[in-house]
Amino acid sequence: MNESSQEHSSPLKNWISPSPIVAKVAFSHTRIRTPESIFECYSRVFPFSATHSKVMKAEECLKQTRYRVAFFLCCANALCYACRTNIGIAVPHFIGDQQDRGIVLSAFFYGYICTQIPAGYWASKVGVKAVLAAGVLVWTFCDAATIVAAALKQFPILILVRAGMGCGEGVTMSSMHIFAGSWFPEKEKTTLVSFVTSGSDLGTIVALLVSPWLMKHSHGQWQSIYVVFSITSMVWLLFYMRHVASTPEEHPRISEDEREMILSSRQGGSLAKEKKQKPIPWLMLLTNRNLWAIYIAHFGSTYSWYVLLGWMPTYMHDRLGLNLQENQLLAATPYMFGYVGLLLSGKASDYFINVHRFRTLNVRRCMGLIGSVIPALFLYILPYYSETPAAAMSILSGCLFFGRACTSGFWVNMIDVGGSEYAGTIMGVSNTFGTIPGIVGNLVTGYILQQTKSWTIVFHTAALVSAVGGTIFACGATDRNVFQHQKAIGMEEDDKEAAAPLLTQLEVV
pLDDT in tens, 33-49: 444 444 444 444 344 44
Task: Report the range of poorest mean pLDDT among 253-267, 315-329, 421-435.
Answer: 315-329
The H-assigned helical ranges of 31-127 are 35-45, 58-63, 65-90, 98-112, 116-126
Closest to 160 measured CA to CA, from 172, 178, 146:
146
What was the pLDDT predicted at 489?
A: 55
Is it the case that residue 19 has pLDDT exceeding 80?
A: no
Residue 6 binned pLDDT confidence (cut-offs 50, 70, 90): very low
How confident is the model over 358-404, as pLDDT tens digits?
Answer: 999 999 999 999 999 999 999 999 999 887 888 988 999 999 999 99
Angle at 171 between CA 40 and CA 141, to 5 degrees: 85
Burial classification of residue 490, based on how many CB atoms lie within 10 Å of its CB (0-12 exposed, 13-18 middle, 19 or more buried): exposed
Contact (Cβ atoms closer than 8 angstroms) between residue 94 and residue 148: no
Kindly state the average pLDDT of the residues 502-509: 46
Between CA 116 and CA 438 the distance in angstroms is 14
Q: What is the pLDDT of residue 352?
A: 95
Output the pLDDT for position 446: 85
Judge contact between 322 and 393, C-beta under 8 A. Answer: no
Any idea which of 7-21, 217-231, 479-493 has the lowest mean pLDDT? 7-21
Rounded Cα distance, 254 and 446, in Å:
49
Q: Residue 32 pLDDT more than 70?
A: no
Q: What Rg value do the Cα atoms of the chain yield, rounded? A: 24
SS3 25: strand
pLDDT, greater one: 320 or 374: 374
Average pLDDT over residues 433-444: 86
Percent of residues, the chain, with pLDDT higher than 70: 81
DSSP code for 273: G
Averaged pLDDT, 428-436? 91
For residue 409, the model assigns a pLDDT of 96
What type of residue is 320?
A: L
- Secondary structure E strands in 358-503: none
Predicted TM-score (pTM) of this structure = 0.77
Distances in Å between the Cα of 66 and the Cα atoms of 192, 262, 402, 403 are 9, 9, 28, 27
CA distance 277 to 129: 17
Q: With contact defined as beta carbons under 8 Å apart, do 294 and 413 qualify? A: yes
> How is the chain split among helix, strand and coil, in percent rounded to 5?
80, 0, 20
How much is the mean pLDDT over the chain?
82
pLDDT in tens, 59-98: 566 679 999 999 999 999 999 999 988 988 888 888 878 7
Using the predicted structure, report yes or no on whether residue 106 has a pLDDT greater than 90. no
Q: What is the DSSP string of 430-492?
A: HHHHHHHHHHHHHHHHHHHHHHH--HHHHHHHHHHHHHHHHHHHHHH---S-HHHHHHHHHHH
Predicted confidence band of residue 104 (pLDDT cuts 50, 70, 90): confident
Give the pLDDT mean for 126-137. 96
pLDDT value of residue 1: 42
| Overall average pLDDT of the 118-135 stretch | 91
Report the alpha-carbon distance of residue 82 to residue 339 in Å, rounded.
14
Q: How confident is the model at residue 443 (pLDDT cuts 50, 70, 90)?
A: confident
